[in-house]
Amino acid sequence: ECTFTPRLNTSGTSGVEGKLHLAIQNPELYALWLKTHEAQKEAQRKAATAAHAEKENAECTFTPRLNTSGTSGVEGKLHLAIQNPELYALWLKTHEAQKEAQRKAATAAHAEKENAE
């Protein structure tokens, strides 16, 4: 003989019916619930993505050596200009001369190509 008798929730407040009932009866409360629910789902997705990325990165063995001396690019030129203005002026003059030579060579090559056609 079975003595267990389940109690069923027949008020319609669970699952889809409950959410629909809440949306109809109190749209503001439903909107708040929906916003909170979506935020929780997004937080779970982000946590899962971060955990996956961390697991993948743990397997990485490559560690790049970064130039932190500040002697490359704009920082290097600025450092040179401050520390040795004469040397920077010489570098700048040489650099500009090289650029001008490249422009002239490109112009000459273009003119030669057009004359050949």
Are the C-beta atoms of 92 and 99 separated by less than 8 Å?
A: no
Torsion of CA 32, 38, 43, 44, to 10 degrees: 130
pLDDT given at position 87? 84
Greater confidence (46 vs 30) lies with: 46
Please calculate the CA angle 54-59-65 and round it to the nearest 5 degrees: 95
pLDDT score, position 41: 95
Residue 10 has pLDDT above 70, yes or no: no
**Is the pLDDT higher at 24 or at 95?**
95
Question: Which pLDDT belongs to residue 38?
Answer: 93
Please check the confidence at residue 72 and state whether its pLDDT lies above 70: no
Task: Identify the pLDDT of residue 96.
Answer: 93
